[in-house]
Amino acid sequence: MAVGLPALALVAATVASAAMGAVKLSLGEVLQALMHPASAGDAGVILYTLRLPRVLAAGLAGAGLAATGVLFQGLFRNPLADPFVLGASGGAALGGAVAVFLVPSFSFAGVGAIELLAFVGSLMAMAIVWALARPGGQFAMADMLLAGFAIGTILNAGTAALELRQEVTNPAVRILAAWLHGEVTVPSWPQLALVAAVELAVIVLALPLARRLNALALSEEYAAQLGVRVERLQILVVVAGSVLTALAVSLGGLIGFVGLLVPHFLRLILGPDHFRLLPAAALSGAAFLIVADTIARTAFAPTEIPVGMLTAFLGGPAFLYLLSRSKRRA
Amino acid sequence: MSGILEFRNVDFAYSERRIFERLSFAVDRGEMMALMGPNGAGKTTLLRLAAALLNPSAGEIVLEGRAAGEWKRQQIARRVALVPQELEIPFAFRVEEIVAQGRLPHLGFFGGLARNDVDAIERAMESVGVLQLRHRIFAELSGGERQRVKIAIGLAQQPELMLLDEPTQHLDIGRQIELMVLLRRLAASGITIVAAIHDLALAREHCSSGVLLIPNAPAIAGSVEELLRPESLERAFGVNRVDLDRYLAAPEVQEEIAPPRKDSHELRRRGFLRGRHNRGAHWNHE
């Protein structure tokens, strides 16, 4: 149940989302084109060059963010930790700003400047936080949170500085603003395949870590007492979460609330076992962001709104509602 | 030899603050040992050292005949269970999910719970009487229930040695006695028990041997009767003889004026408050 239902929802969301857009396709056409890509005609072109890459990008971004939410909430023993607590958003934003303003035409192996620099930026931010938080080698979680906050703030200031140097009329300013609010790109197929492969590998390898996060929930000392090598666990979880977050950011910019809302909602249904939560959150996060992104690109057509804005608008109140419910239960 | 845990001339300090100097004692298999001493004397530190969560700065800690440093973390976790004083869990885990954590040392890196793990979890819950609480949220349990669940986690580890940090803290006298009886049963079943205990009466009643930690002086190890002599207590707890005598004396006269406190009644029944220097009239109400 922990995996079956979210998996079903994900398949349904993918097919339905692929049918919706400026050119409406029937479900039959979508399924036909999926089964027989060679003889699909116009529907196939729309599906394979525009719709599916975008739908899958949204799914992968949502999966990465929600999975990281589970990992970081377990790591910090705090249900309010989200994928951006270690400063990833600041690094990604600065990377995105550098890409948009300084090297807009740069690309590598078919991957655009924004995607690439956002990925590098968020990984670098977390690496700096990590290096700062462990002087003398001791891995202190509270220090990491504080360092993450500080580094995120500094990098955001850098982004603002780059932005303020631009002319108001520069269209790149708008591009950056939309991206900062979370906008899913239409990536190339090789890029999608690479991201999907890395994400899948990281999540599968993180499953044994998730089981140990349950012991960590008791306390660091308790986990050590149960034979867990706590520092190694913490390092591996930070690395896994950093890679997943950076990949998600490269596909969808800064999308808030997914990493918080999806794990929290699932915890109410499945309980707090991180081993069950991790795959369920990845699948549900994917389905959730596909639905959100479909609304973002179709509700106000032909105008698109950044999906991050939508998740904030819908996710904020939903999260408050869940909070009030869980409080009443406790 | 039947020794399961031995401290040999162990020194330990937290940066500047020296906690132990040349501490030596041995625990025999199946024994029930009380760890006593004033606040800050190092009871929790000693338990952490015994579980190899801390390393001594000098001397040696020997676990089942092998230096603690030579064991792998997971091998120790299969032999030694530490039951900590407090357990605050930020998520709404159910009791059986919490107890299942005790199986972690027995699982492979990718492995899940096998049939024998599930059995061990059931037996652990059953032997401390929390089977009917299995679906309850841990954070919502009473103090006594939590204490028993914490012991169940330790039992699920199937340890040879169980270290408990103040297991009777925050419990009423009835739950305290229940808990000590439970620990005695575990000791009788072959699990060696070392428990930090604040309540000297409980230690005297239920434990066979003990270690008394004395600040800035060598600790004393021996039978509980020896350790609880007024001279030792005077040194360990820094109380003067008169106050100690008052504490150890029974409130015979006071009882006629005020209804007896439940615990003082219980303590007297077990002969603790009889005292050698009975000055009943001086019983102090705090």
Q: Which regions of chain A does DSSP assign to beta strands (E)?
A: 107-108, 111-112
The total number of residues shown for chain B amounts to 286
What confidence tier does B262 reach under pLDDT thresholds 50, 70, 90? Answer: very low
In sequence order, the 6+-apart residues with CB closer than 8 A to the CB of A155 are: A87, A90, A91, A93, A94, A121, A125
**Statement: residue B264 has pLDDT above 90:** no
Q: Residue A26's pLDDT is what?
A: 79
Give B78's contacts in chain A (Cβ within 8 Å): 227
Q: Are residues B79 and B170 in the same domain?
A: yes
Q: Residue A1's pLDDT is what?
A: 58
Question: What token pair was written down for A190?
Answer: 């090789």
Q: What is the pLDDT of residues B191-247, one digit of tens each?
A: 999 999 988 888 888 998 999 988 888 888 888 888 888 778 888 888 777 777 776
Determine contact, residues B121/B99, Cβ cutoff 8 Å: yes
Determine contact, residues B164/B195, Cβ cutoff 8 Å: yes
Range from A25-39, A79-93, B117-131, B162-176 carrying the lowest mean pLDDT: A25-39
Determine contact, residues B59/B41, Cβ cutoff 8 Å: no
Beta bridge partner(s), residue A108: A111
How confident is the model over A165-178, as a mean pLDDT?
Answer: 81
Q: What is the pLDDT of residues A126-159, one digit of tens each?
A: 888 888 877 555 567 778 888 888 998 999 898 8
Range of the domain at B259: 241-286
Instruction: Looking at the complex, report in whole angstroms how far the Cα of residue A100 sits from the nearest Cα belonging to chain B.
Output: 42
Range of the domain at A172: 4-329
**Statement: residue B256 has pLDDT above 60:** no
How confident is the model over A146-173, as a mean pLDDT?
Answer: 86
Instruction: For residue A222, give the nearest of B78, B84, B110 by CB distance.
Output: B84
CATH code of the domain in which B207 resides: 3.40.50.300
Q: Residue B1's pLDDT is what?
A: 47
How confident is the model over A286-307, as a mean pLDDT?
Answer: 89
User: Minimal Cα distance from A77: which residue of B?
Assistant: B90
Question: Are A211 and B88 within 8 A, CB to CB?
Answer: no
DSSP B13-53: EETTEEEEEEEEEEEETT-EEEEE--TTSSHHHHHHHHTTS
Tell me the residues of B at the A interface, defined by beta carbons under 8 Å apart.
Answer: 48, 51, 53, 73-74, 76-78, 81-82, 84, 87-94, 97-98, 101-102, 104-105, 107, 109-110, 112, 139-140, 153, 157
Q: So what's the ipTM on this one? A: 0.82
**Statement: residue A93 has pLDDT above 70:** yes
Q: What is the pLDDT of residues B155-164, one digit of tens each?
A: 999 999 999 9
User: Minimal Cα distance from B47: which residue of A?
Assistant: A225
Closest CA to B51 of B102, B103, B88, B5: B5
**Statement: residue A317 has pLDDT above 50:** yes
Kindly report the average pLDDT of chain A as a whole number. Answer: 86
Give A222's contacts in chain B (Cβ within 8 Å): 82, 84, 87, 101
CATH code of the domain in which A111 resides: 1.10.3470.10
How confident is the model over B61-71, as a mean pLDDT?
Answer: 89
| Share of residues in chain A with pLDDT > 70 (%) | 96
Count of domains observed in chain B: 2
Q: Are residues B142 and B45 in the same domain?
A: yes
What radius of gyration do chain B's Cα atoms show?
20
Q: Residue A181's pLDDT is what?
A: 86
Count of domains observed in chain A: 1
Produce one character per residue of B56-92: b if its CB has 16 or more CB atoms within 10 Å, e if not. Answer: beebebbbbeeebeebebebbbbbbbbbbbebebbbb
CA dist., res. B236 & res. B42, Å (int): 12
**Statement: residue B73 has pLDDT above 50:** yes
Q: Are residues B254 and B119 in the same domain?
A: no
Q: Are residues B112 and B129 in the same domain?
A: yes
CA dist., res. B199 & res. A30, Å (int): 74
Q: What is the pLDDT of residues A229-276, one digit of tens each?
A: 988 898 899 889 989 998 998 888 889 889 999 999 999 899 999 999
How confident is the model over A20-43, as a mean pLDDT?
Answer: 78
User: Minimal Cα distance from B155: which residue of A?
Assistant: A226
**Statement: residue A216 has pLDDT above 80:** yes
Give the pTM. Answer: 0.86
In sequence order, the 6+-apart residues with CB closer than 8 A to the CB of A127 are: A242
Question: Are B48 and A221 within 8 A, CB to CB?
Answer: yes
**Statement: residue B286 has pLDDT above 90:** no
Instruction: Looking at the complex, report in whole angstroms how far the Cα of residue A271 sits from the nearest Cα belonging to chain B.
Output: 7
Q: Residue A252's pLDDT is what?
A: 87
Instruction: Looking at the complex, report in whole angstroms how far the Cα of residue A266 sits from the nearest Cα belonging to chain B.
Output: 12
Does A314 or A205 have the greater pLDDT score?
A: A205
| Share of residues in chain A with pLDDT > 90 (%) | 31
Q: Are residues B256 and B231 in the same domain?
A: no
